[in-house]
Structure 1
Amino acid sequence: MGLFSKSSSNRTSSKPSISERSASLASSNSSLQSPTLGFGKRSSPPTSSGPFSPTTTAPSHRPQIKMPKAPDPLVDPAAYLRSIGSVRARCSVLLEKALDNDLNHFDVDMSKFDDSVAFVVSIIKRDFAPDYSTIPPHGRWQHFNVGGKDRVTHLLQSWPSSVDTSERTRRLLDLFLVSVLLDAGAGTAWSYKSKENGKVYRRSEGLAVASLEMFKTGMFSSDPDQPFRVDSDGLRRLTVETMGKGLQVTAQNPITGLDGRANLLIRLSKALENRQYFGDDSRPGNIIDYLISHPTTQISSVPIVPLPTLWHVLMDGLGPIWPASRSVVDGVSLGDAWPLSSMPRDSNSAEWETIVPFHKLTQWLCYSLMQPMSVLMHIHFAGAELMTGLPEYRNGGLFIDTGVLTLKPEQMKRGLERFSAEADRNGQKCMEVVPMFEASDDVVVEWRAVTVGFLDMLLAKVNTELGLSGEEALSLPQMLEAGSWKGGREIAEVTRPNTKEPPIMIISDGTVF
């Protein structure tokens, strides 16, 4: 079977053969010993982390592809707010207000921004100097390798040589998608003890190891002869109880949002029945077949996929999994997009003009799914710079803990009252008290919107401080991985050593953060 080959039973009849469109690639891209990452900027040799490392990046000599414009919000506001181009554009409105210290819920001290920069630069230098080209992009792959164990490479090497490159990619896409959907904040009380090495992991890394071990047992597969896959029938039989058992949840080891996580995967089973994207066997990994055969994909020395094509697959194909309570415009559910009082408006403003989109989980999926497709199949994603920094509590917490943002007194009071009420309701002792809000709260939406703009500013200043420019400059995903996300976590651990929680806690249902 060729590099992109797949049996006809797993393709819809409307799709052209992948092997026909990419036969010329079989000889040039058959080796996995020199992986490239199609949303980086530079060529680098494979690193010590293994031949399948996501660290290495792609050459910059690519054909220029014109990106499609975002939909016109005056014509189709729902389509606009669901587009990746709308995220940075809408958040930039809040950035301008922040620079003028004109936010509704936060005081802004831009004199402290250099402290944020210095902290992030110090972490990047500590971990990667002097070879910053070894910084991998932000993605789920790194979480699987917690503790220095290259679990993804070990998984790939465990499969026989008869499993070809395209099927290996499908399997990793299956795993990565489910793992990302499970990757909402787990809370401080939960941990996972690996069945393979007996070590205990927490938070995102714990969820990554747990999802990998569940995947390897066939928990998400309907085929007893093929555990290493995710499909609609396998997910349909999941329950909250089986998910809790897989995550080792007990009364003494509670996890935040267990019901939300389980129901998200159960709803995914229905979404995977869309054969256009997920094929006849209803697998997430079949999106690789859709992307390669898509008319916007260019086949040259490597396949070049426009980022908006992948974005459309995830937004449209996974649309049914999001809770129905999210914002709706013209009868269309928008997903992770929320009304915000800080947005400029007047008596003539339309409903959509008050809404700020983030699509954090979809962006996290994009960052994470691009890695196996780039490393194993050498796909280059054109327009990946359209994506933004992830508006979540680690990146956002960095700017609060370094003093750039300070919650205004009336909101601080309200948030602390909510924290106290939740602690009383759950019978928890309060070692470290921080304000708490719902994900839909105006405070949280404003915080997230400003975070997107601040991360763009942070990237420019970090590159300046590191003396990096042009092809050597860090990309946004690299800065997220090595600096802001890690920095947000580390400063939280120092500031609140008992709980290690962010400076604002968000009541989560397991489907946003």
Structure 2
Amino acid sequence: MNTYPEADRPEGPADGLGSGWYSPVPAGHPAAALLCAEAVRTHCAAITEHVAAGQSELFTWHPDRVHAIADYVASTIRQRYPDLRVPYHSRWRHFESGGSGERLDRWHILCERAALSGPEHREDRARIGIDLVIPSVLLDAGAGPDWRYRDPASDLILTRSEGLGVASFDLFARGGFSAEPGDPLRADAERLMRIDASSIATAFQVAQHNPLVGLEGRAGLLRRLGEVMQATPAVFGTPARLGNLFDYLKANAVNERIEASFILKTLLVALGPVWPGRVVLDGVSLGDTWRHPAAPGGLVPFHKLTQWLTYSLLEPLEDAGLVVTGLEALTGLPEYRNGGLLFDFELMVPRDPAFAEVAHEVQEPVIVEWRALTVTGLDLVADGVRQALGLSEADFPLARVLEGGTWAAGRRIAAKRRPGGPPPFAINSDGTVF
């Protein structure tokens, strides 16, 4: 079991959530400086400077393309949201997938059926929303080109992130993460620790003709999630439940206001042991952090899934009355659609003309570099999008630019350039990164 070293185990009462800040990674530990969004942005910027200076053997950098990308994204936003009222980029958008561009508010329907719609139930809804969204995000790695999910509610066929989102929503609604008979809408460590690949396969309609990439990796993540929850009573309580994270965050809010960076830091240190130990620094696994010679210390963190999870917690927290501040601290998400958009518009151009012809591994320097350039590029594009739309960063934070936005524009340009709309190149995934 991958849990905290005994000396670093978070303190807190065994029968409650505790209050105040804790960290299983001490502030003076060398890993601490990498477990934040600021490190993502600064380390990626260092790699971008390296490429822009012509020192990279892998890519060239073409910032003159930013204006065209920003215009394309702005037009995509106007098409999708003519009133410019763009929601956050989060897992909740996938739960609304109905096919043919329609939206189905499954969450509202679920709350109505459970008699949880009134304002007096807003904190219960937040706990249940957290119970739902954390496992769903962990299950959100690329599905592969051949997987499909037939939605029982609409009989529509859903694919990719939308299909994964609805499949995980249905699994949750059936009590797939609950250890409490008669109380299906919860996610308990006791149940998560028992999930195996066959359970995921059944729920996600996997078959020989309907393969899902990274099946074992997804199940392993959920099991590790349960183990880490149980080892962290200060955040997840005893018995451990994901929804208890709401109580921890509320206890650390000041006048019901909480920083987005605090939420991310909490998730990075509390859930850090969930991720496979690829790069370990003095006994601490750094999760979605990789090696690159141009990065400070030779390491570049991305924390893609954890930042995606942070974005996905905004709505349940705000529904419960918390105000999340400092959204600008979070970065863009370096994955297929955002990074594919920038690649397709030739913001970064591979020096190897055969780059897109072969599948790559996540740890390859060329993929690490592409992801770093994506983080920097998204900041530049976001500024251009706001200028094109006449909006400020306060009115249109990166979380809305991504949703409106770069992710949708990445899918749009991919559909125009390649039959079926796949990303511009392939990356082998084990279900724990993208």
Give the structure-1-normalised TM-score. 0.76
> What's the offset of the Cα at 1:488?
0.7
Counterparts in 2 of 1:228-243, with a 5 A limit? 228-243=185-200
**Is 1:368 matched with 2:312?**
yes
Query: Is the 2:66–2:384 Cα contact (8 Å) retained in structure 1?
Result: no
Equivalent AA in structure 2 for residue 495 of structure 1: R
1:289 and 2:247 equivalent? yes
Aligned pairs (5 A) from 1:59-138: 76-129=29-82, 131-132=83-84, 134-138=85-89
Which residue in 1 is equivalent to 2:148? 191
What's 1:334 paired with?
Answer: 286
Return the alpha-carbon distance in structure 2 between the equivalents of residues 469 and 173 of structure 1.
30
Q: Is residue 355 of structure 1 aligned with residue 313 of structure 2? A: no
**Is the CA contact (8 Å cut-off) linking 2:16 and 2:238 kept in structure 1?**
no
1:101 to partner: Cα distance? 4.1
Secondary structure (helix, strand or coil) at the match of 2:258 reads: strand
Moved more, 173-182 or 280-289: 280-289
Q: Tell me the number of residue pairs that the alignment of Structure 1 and Structure 2 aligns.
A: 411
Alpha-carbon distance in 2 for matches of 1:460, 1:72: 35
Matches within 5 A, 1:163-312: 164-273=121-230, 274-294=232-252, 297-299=253-255, 303-312=256-265
Partner of 1:44: none
C-alpha distance in 2 between matches for 1:175 and 1:317: 18
CA distance in 1, matches of 2:17, 2:217: 35
Q: Matches of 1:471 and 1:248 in 2, distance apart?
A: 42
Residue 156 of structure 1: how far off its partner (Å): 1.5
The answer on whether the counterparts of 1:104 and 1:342 sit within 8 Å (CA) in structure 2 is no
Distance in 1 (alpha carbons) for counterparts of 2:152 and 2:17: 43
**Structure 2: distance between partners of 1:391 and 1:371:** 22
Deviation per residue, 1:113-167 (Å, 9 max, x gap)? 32212211211122223x21x1111111111111211111111211125983212
Structure 1 residue 509 corresponds to structure 2 residue 430: yes
Is 203-212 or 85-94 further displaced after alignment? 85-94
> CA–CA distance in 2 between the matches of 1:72 and 1:177?
25
Q: How does 1:14-29 map to 2 (within 5 A)?
A: 15=18
Alignment partner of 1:77: what SS? coil
- Residue 346 (structure 1) aligns with: none
1:464 aligns with 2:390: no
Assess if the C-alpha contact under 8 Å between 2:151 and 2:157 holds in 1. yes
* Equivalent-residue separation in structure 2 for 1:487 and 1:156 (angstroms): 32
Cα distance between partner residues in 2 of 1:190 and 1:383: 37
1:396-451 residue CA offsets vs partner (Å, 9 max, x unmatched): 11111112222112xx54x56xxxxxxxxxxxxxxxxx432111110110000011
What value does the CA root-mean-square deviation take over the aligned residues?
Answer: 2.2
Q: Does the 8 Å CA contact 1:72/1:80 hold for their aligned counterparts?
A: no
1:382: Cα distance to partner?
Answer: 2.5
Equivalent-residue separation in structure 2 for 1:11 and 1:329 (angstroms): 29
- Cα offset for 1:471? 4.9
| Partner Cα distance (1:137, 1:373) in 2 | 13
Calculate the TM-score normalised by the size of structure 2: 0.90
Taking a change above 3 Å as real, the CA distance of residues 470 and 255 of structure 1, as seen in their structure-2 partners, is closer
Q: Which amino acid aligns with 2:105?
A: D
C-alpha displacement at 1:192, in angstroms? 0.4
Shift of 1:341: 2.8
Distance 1:385 1:365 in 2: 16
Q: Which of structures 1 and 2 has the larger relative contact order (alpha carbons within 8 angstroms, sep 6+)?
A: 2
- For structure 2, list consecutive stretches of 5 or more residues without a partner in the other structure: 1-12
Provide the C-alpha distance between the structure 2 equivalents of 1:82 and 1:511, rounded to a whole number of angstroms.
17
Q: Identity over aligned residues, as a percent?
A: 38
- Residue 109 of structure 2: aligned partner: 154
AA matched with 1:331: G
Partner of 2:334: 391
Q: 1:384 to 1:114 in 2, by over 3 A?
A: closer
Pair 306,463 (structure 1): closer, same or farther in 2 beyond 3 Å: closer
1:479 aligns with 2:401: yes
The offset of 1:260, in angstroms, is: 0.4
Q: What does 1:418-433 correspond to in 2, within 5 Å?
A: none
What is the match of residue 3 of structure 1? none
Paired letter, 1:97: H
The CA deviation string for residues 234-287 of structure 1, in whole angstroms up to 9 with x for no partner, is: 112211111111111111000110110011001111011121110113111101
Runs of 4 or more consecutive aligned structure 1 residues displaced over 6 Å after TM superposition:
none
Maintained 8 Å contact 2:228/2:273: yes
Structure 2 Cα separation of the partners of residues 365 and 166 of structure 1: 19
Residue type of the alignment partner of 1:153 = H
Deviates more, 1:217-226 or 1:110-119: 110-119
**Distance in 2 between residues matched to 1:171 and 1:253, nearest whole Å:** 30
What is the identity, as a one-letter code, of the residue corresponding to 2:172? Answer: F
Which residue identity lines up with residue 493 of structure 1 in the other structure? A
Contact 1:342 1:446 in 2 (8 A): no
1:145 aligns with 2:96: yes
Q: Is the Cα contact below 8 Å between 1:268 and 1:321 reproduced in 2?
A: yes
Cα distance, 1:463–1:224 mapped onto 2, change above 3 Å: same
> Distance in 2 between the 1:244 and 1:470 partners?
42
1:348 is matched with none
Question: Do 1:94 and 1:450's aligned partners in 2 also have CA atoms closer than 8 Å?
Answer: yes
- What amino acid sits opposite 1:265 in the alignment? L
What secondary structure does 2:31 align onto? helix
Aligned to 2:7: none
Query: 1:79 deviation in Å?
Result: 0.7
Moved more, 242-251 or 93-102: 93-102
